[in-house]
Amino acid sequence: MIQISAPSLGNEEWEALREPLESGWLTQGPKVAEFERHFAAHHGVEHALATTSCTTALHLMLAAAGIGPGDEVIVPSFTWISTANAVLYTGATPVLADVDPVTYNIDPQDAASRVSDQTKAIIAVHLFGLCADVLALRAALPDHIVIFEDAACAAGAMLGDQWAGSLGHAAAFSFHPRKSITTGEGGMLTTNDSQLAEIAEKLRNHGAEVSEEQRHKGPQPYLLPDFNHLGFNYRMTDLQGAIGLVQLRKLESFVAERDQWAAFYLESLTDIPWLQMPSRPASGRHAWQAFVTRTAVDVDRNRVMAQLFEQGISTRPGTHAIHMLGHYQNSFGFTDDSLPHSRDCELRTMALPLHNRMAAEDFERVVAALQSVRV
Ligand SMILES: *Cc1c(COP(=O)(O)O)cnc(C)c1O
């Protein structure tokens, strides 16, 4: 079976665990701090704060920015559910916008049409590693609306010459094994806003005024800090920080390799008339977290997936449309047709295997299998 995705880990990650295991410092400490410094430098931002996941980074980002009850935050419907869930955790209301069926990213005009007096922010999702058109969003939205990034899929991606994670006010990345680099579970909040970073740092650690490492290494490690905010425990472990550091060093080669194989797919699959290829940015860089195609309107996507499965090739729908999920239909009264492009993407997208453990013959097998599919 050719898997849709597989993490790429080796001896270096194994070795990196030795130091925290031997020192006994397992919670957030020096390895996480080093991972944060390198991640921030790599993505051209001032601050990076590691978290337990992208979902918690999204929540932390919104909470640190003061988003709460009575506020509305615009998010695309075609994304992973946690983009919208994170808004709900703060007590604010997610307002779903439709996506562009070519890029799969939020449609700036549709987003602008959903602005109300309560709208405080928008979360631009860089779906599958392709940066959302943040410049078009900025132009389409009133100035006071804050642009955040869901960069879960976008480690190493660029819009023009600017890195994902530095395109909005703050961003959240994921290190789930389905993404390009992984720490098992894990996430990262990035921002150039020192004040937001300072609040987020406290909220990540129960709202404590000083971090555990600061306390242990400070003059009075026996005294507990004050807690002036309602915080959470969203700290990454140093074991994960150690693995993240190794993975980050491999990010550039992972993305370059993915880009090379994405180009191979784009070239080899163009003669299949019923399969729309993902769009490649004219400038900047697609991180290719996933290679997501779209079947023609008269093709039964699930039948195609079944035929590929029989040939030992795993595929998946790109992601879901949030407005079609039970919790959102029950809470907000959406019907499947509320956001037609997102619905269409949920029903017609198909991710092909693309990861850094695939060999040339695996990619060739996928292409041959697709060419043999009967639609
Ligand atoms: C994977 C993903 C998330 C969630 O990331 P976790 O680290 O699993 O919480 C959020 N948004 C998008 C767009 C994703 O692809």
Chain segment 270-319, per-residue pLDDT in tens: 999 999 999 999 889 999 999 999 999 999 999 999 999 999 999 999 99
Amino acid at 77: S
Exposed/middle/buried for 267, CB within 10 Å: 0-12, 13-18, 19+? exposed
307 CA → ligand 1 middle, Å:
28
Amino acid at 311: Q
Q: Rounded to an integer, what is the distance from CA 328 to the centroid of its chain?
A: 21
Please give the share of the chain, as a percent, with pLDDT higher than 70.
100
CB atoms within 10 A of CB 11: 8
Chain segment 97-142, per-residue pLDDT in tens: 999 999 999 999 999 999 999 999 999 999 999 999 999 999 999 9
In this structure, the residue with its CA closest to atom 6 of ligand 1 is 54
Residues with CB under 6 A from ligand 1: 53-55, 79-80, 82-83, 125, 127, 150, 152-153, 174, 176, 187
Instruction: List the structure tokens of 200.
Output: 């987020």
The mean predicted confidence, pLDDT, of the chain is 97
What is the number of the ligand 1 atom nearest to the C-alpha of 56? 9
Q: Is the dihedral of CA 339, 305, 132, 82 positive or negative?
A: positive
Active-site residue, 179 included: yes
What integer pLDDT is reported at residue 171 of this predicted model? 99
What is the number of the ligand 1 atom nearest to the C-alpha of 178? 1
State the Cα–Cα distance between residues 362 and 81, nearest whole angstrom: 31
What is the number of the ligand 1 atom nearest to the C-alpha of 58? 10
In this structure, the residue with its CA closest to atom 8 of ligand 1 is 176
State the Cα–Cα distance between residues 352 and 183, nearest whole angstrom: 23
Cite the DSSP H helix spans in the chain: 11-16, 18-23, 30-42, 54-64, 82-89, 108-112, 134-140, 194-204, 212-217, 238-268, 301-310, 326-332, 340-348, 360-372
Instruction: List the structure tokens of 131.
Output: 């940066």
What integer pLDDT is reported at residue 213 of this predicted model? 82
Instruction: List the structure tokens of 112.
Output: 């602008």
What integer pLDDT is reported at residue 137 of this predicted model? 98
State the Cα–Cα distance between residues 179 and 7, nearest whole angstrom: 8
- Tell whether the model's pLDDT for residue 212 goes beyond 90: no
83 CA → ligand 1 middle, Å:
7
Give me the residue label for tokens 């983009």: 83
Closest to 156 in 3D by CA, of 192, 176, 129, 128? 129
Chain segment 149-206, per-residue pLDDT in tens: 999 999 999 999 999 999 999 999 999 999 999 999 999 999 999 999 999 999 999 9
Identify the weakest region by mean pLDDT among 155-169, 209-223, 315-329: 209-223
242 CA → ligand 1 middle, Å:
21
Chain segment 243-284, per-residue pLDDT in tens: 999 999 999 999 999 999 999 999 999 999 999 999 999 889
What's the pTM? Answer: 0.97
Residue to mutate (ligand 1; options 80, 316, 346; most atoms within 8 A of CB): 80
Name the catalytic one among 120, 179, 202, 250.
179
Closest to 106 in 3D by CA, of 148, 48, 47? 148
Neighbour order of strands in the sheet with 47-51? 47-51, 187-191, 170-174, 146-150, 119-125, 72-76, 93-97
CB atoms within 10 A of CB 194: 10
What integer pLDDT is reported at residue 215 of this predicted model? 87
State the Cα–Cα distance between residues 53 and 147, nearest whole angstrom: 20
What integer pLDDT is reported at residue 211 of this predicted model? 84
Cross-strand partners of 313: 2
DSSP 88-122: HHTT-EEEEE-B-TTT-SB-HHHHHTT--TTEEEE
Closest to 57 in 3D by CA, of 203, 229, 245? 203
What integer pLDDT is reported at residue 243 of this predicted model? 98
In this structure, the residue with its CA closest to atom 5 of ligand 1 is 54
What integer pLDDT is reported at residue 282 of this predicted model? 84
What is the number of the ligand 1 atom nearest to the C-alpha of 319? 15
- Tell whether the model's pLDDT for residue 216 goes beyond 90: no
- Categorize the per-residue pLDDT at 210 as very low, low, confident or very high, splitting at 50, 70 and 90: confident
State the Cα–Cα distance between residues 57 and 150, nearest whole angstrom: 9
240 CA → ligand 1 middle, Å:
17
Q: How many Cα atoms are found within 13 Å in the side-chain-facing hemisphere of 285?
A: 21
In this structure, the residue with its CA closest to atom 1 of ligand 1 is 152
